[in-house]
């Protein structure tokens, strides 16, 4: 029986996508917009820089943007040097607005900035801190906790997800829901795959390219090849055929937002994988930490991000369509609960009916 402690020793990813320097007060991000062609790191010193890095997708993936935003909150106080605790709260409120508007769909972003703001207010109200320096120290601890909790949650999802993997399986994923997307080097959908690989199971991954931003071809393949996990790249249009031909044992995807009733918001293309998997009797799992759950919204309330038309008109700067062609570029979709076999979180595996079972899980976890 493998334990969480065992996993901490044996799952050792090589990539370090997010680094915080506590002496210099600098957040350093592996620039995902340049991978795998260049291995550049960018330094972030203000909430505005953090927000821009999220908007330009130098850092991307729901948990990774949550972690970046939490350090963006720390940096707001360090860069503005407020003179009082009252001013500190105004600065944090402003930083939260700047960070929250970077991208709309992943709930981890607003979740992380809310945790940072609320823990500051709480500590001040309770008299636990008396100075701006003490508040900065508290927020550094809180941001590190968000990062550390994410890592722990991913290892737990890895263990739960392992129950759904057999030796020799091939798993289809979507986008990049690996260590790059979470900042930890492990990932959500890729966590059980990393665990199975570390335990010596023969396992392989099929990665659709994930047009238009190519997270699958640029990032998932790079991340898995770096850690010697077998991966095959396919065009997005090949998804149906590989499933129909019996080449896929299960689908494992991440999520940017999961509603209480089991609607899963994830990278564009996920919905069709859910429908095809359902039609062909292939299990479809969404893996996400509880920070990705949104227990308040209904499916129609959620904003699906639309990005620049040139992402579709070009491939990495090279035109592939007539200049000025009209484009629609939604970058997430929603998979209704009917197509979701189970949702795997750090608290356990949630099966339908999701409304009842996810609320039960949440009350157990918090
Ligand atoms: O637009 P992106 O690259 O930020 O979208 C990322 C995804 O859709 C991921 O699947 C999701 O954030 C889960 S990450 C572990």
227 is catalytic: no
Tell me how far apart the alpha carbons of residues 30 and 244 are, in angstroms, rounded to a whole number.
37
Gap between the Cα atoms of 357 and 262, Å rounded: 10
Q: To test the ligand 1 pocket, which listed residue (108, 255, 273, 286) has its Cβ within 8 A of the most ligand atoms?
A: 255
> Tens of pLDDT along 41-86?
999 999 999 999 999 999 999 999 999 999 999 999 999 999 999 9
Contacts of residue 137, Cβ cutoff 8 Å, sequence gap at least 6: none
Q: Which of 169, 227, 236, 256 is catalytic?
A: 256
Question: Going by DSSP bridges, is the β-strand pair 332-335/170-172 parallel, antiparallel, or unpaired?
Answer: unpaired
* C-alpha angle 110-188-62 in degrees, rounded to nearest 5: 20
Q: Indicate if the pLDDT at residue 365 is higher than 80.
A: no
All CATH 1.20.120.420 domain ranges of the chain, comma separated, are 4-154
Torsion of CA 15, 294, 114, 179, to 10 degrees: 0
Q: What are the tens digits of pLDDT across the range 167-198?
A: 999 999 999 999 999 999 999 999 999 999 99
Cβ of 142 below 6 Å from ligand 1? no
Give me the CATH code for the 156-365 domain, please: 3.40.50.10470
The annotation status of 62 as a binding-site residue, yes or no, is yes
Burial code (b: 16+ CB inside 10 Å, e: under 16) for 60-75 equals bbbbbbbbbbbbbbbb
Q: Are strands 257-259 and 318-319 parallel, antiparallel or unpaired?
A: unpaired
Per DSSP, the chain holds a count of helices (H) and strands (E) of 13, 18
Chain centre to alpha carbon of residue 280: 28
Compute, in angstroms, the gap from residue 151 CA to the centroid of ligand 1.
Answer: 16
What was the pLDDT predicted at 9?
93
Ligand 1 atom with minimal separation from the 305 CA: 1
pLDDT digits (tens, 9 = 90+) for 126-142: 999 999 999 999 999 99
CA dist., res. 124 & res. 147, Å (int): 23
What is the average per-residue pLDDT within 206-223? 98
Flag whether 366 is marked binding: no
Alpha carbon separation from 276 to 111, 236, 270, 279 (Å, rounded): 32, 13, 10, 5
61 in a known ligand binding site: yes
121 marked as part of a ligand binding site: no
Query: Is any ligand 1 atom within 6 A of the Cβ of residue 220?
Result: no
**Chain-wide mean pLDDT for the chain?**
96
Q: Is 291 in the pocket of ligand 1 (CB under 6 A)?
A: no
Provide the β-strand partners of residue 41: 30
pLDDT band for position 1 (50/70/90)? confident
Q: How far is the CA of 332 from the centre of ligand 1 (A)?
A: 9
**CB 35 less than 6 A from any atom of ligand 1:** no
SS in 3 state form for 6-44? Answer: HHHHHCCCCCCCEEEECCCCEEEEECCCCCCCCCCEEEE
Alpha helices by DSSP H, 34-171: 47-55, 62-80, 85-100, 107-125, 132-162
CA-only gyration radius of the chain, Å: 20
In the chain, % helix, strand, coil (3-state, to 5) comes to 45, 15, 35
Q: Which two tokens stand for residue 294?
A: 């949104």
User: What's the distance, Cα to Cα, between the start and end of the chain in Å?
Assistant: 26
Enumerate the CATH 3.40.50.10470 domain ranges in the chain, comma separated.
156-365
Q: 4-154: which CATH topology? A: 1.20.120
Residues in contact with 77: Cβ distance below 8 Å, sequence separation at least 6, in sequence order = 88, 91, 92, 132, 135, 136, 139
Sign for the CA dihedral angle at 23, 17, 113, 92 comes to positive
Q: According to the model, what pLDDT value does residue 305 have?
A: 98
Can you tell me which residue has the tokens 């918090």?
366
The 3-state DSSP class for residue 214 equals: coil
Name which residue sits closest to atom 6 of ligand 1, judged by CA: 61
Which pLDDT value is given to residue 361?
76
Q: What is the DSSP string of 188-209?
A: STTHHHHHHHHTT---EEEEE-
Say what the pLDDT of residue 262 is: 96
Q: At 363, is the pLDDT very low, low, confident or very high (cuts 50, 70, 90)?
A: low
Percent of the chain with pLDDT over 90: 96
Q: How far is the C-alpha of 35 from the C-alpha of 187, rounded, in Å?
A: 17
Is the minimum distance from the CB of 349 to ligand 1 under 6 angstroms?
no
Share of the chain above pLDDT 70, in %: 99
pLDDT digits (tens, 9 = 90+) for 228-284: 999 999 999 999 999 999 999 999 999 999 999 999 999 999 999 999 999 999 999
């Amino acid at each position: 029986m493998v334990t969480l402690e065992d996993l901490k020793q044996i799952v050792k990813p090589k990539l370090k996508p997010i680094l915080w320097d506590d002496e210099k007060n600098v957040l350093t991000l592996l620039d995902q917009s340049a991978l795998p062609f260049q291995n550049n790191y960018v330094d972030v010193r203000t909430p505005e820089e953090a927000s821009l890095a999220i908007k330009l997708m130098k850092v991307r993936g729901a948990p990774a943007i949550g972690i970046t935003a939490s350090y963006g909150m720390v940096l707001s106080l360090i860069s503005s040097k407020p003179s009082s605790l009252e001013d500190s709260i105004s600065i944090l409120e402003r930083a939260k607005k700047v960070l929250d508007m970077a991208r709309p769909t992943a709930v981890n972003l607003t979740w992380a900035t809310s945790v940072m703001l609320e823990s500051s207010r709480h500590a001040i109200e309770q008299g636990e801190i008396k100075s701006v320096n003490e508040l900065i120290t508290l927020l550094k601890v809180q941001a590190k906790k968000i990062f550390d909790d994410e890592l722990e949650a991913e290892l737990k999802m890895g263990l739960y997800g392992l129950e759904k993997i057999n030796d020799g399986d091939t798993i289809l994923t979507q986008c990049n829901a690996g260590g790059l997307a979470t900042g930890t080097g492990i990932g959500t959908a890729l966590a059980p795959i990393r665990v199975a690989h570390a335990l010596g199971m023969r396992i392989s991954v099929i990665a659709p390219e994930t047009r238009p931003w190519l997270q699958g071809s640029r990032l998932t393949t790079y991340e898995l090849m770096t850690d010697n996990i077998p991966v095959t790249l396919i065009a997005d249009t090949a998804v149906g055929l590989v499933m129909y031909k019996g080449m896929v044992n299960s689908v494992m995807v991440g999520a940017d937002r999961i509603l209480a009733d089991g609607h899963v918001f994830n990278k564009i293309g996920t919905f069709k994988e859910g429908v095809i998997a359902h039609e062909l009797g292939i299990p479809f799992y969404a893996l996400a930490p509880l920070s990705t759950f949104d227990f308040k919204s209904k499916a129609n309330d959620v904003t699906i991000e639309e990005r620049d038309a040139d992402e579709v008109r070009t491939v990495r700067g090279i035109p592939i369509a007539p200049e000025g062609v009209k484009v629609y570029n939604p970058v997430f979709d929603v998979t209704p609960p009917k197509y979701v076999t189970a949702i795997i979180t750090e608290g356990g595996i949630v099966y339908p009916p999701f409304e009842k079972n996810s609320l039960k899980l949440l009350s157990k976890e918090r």
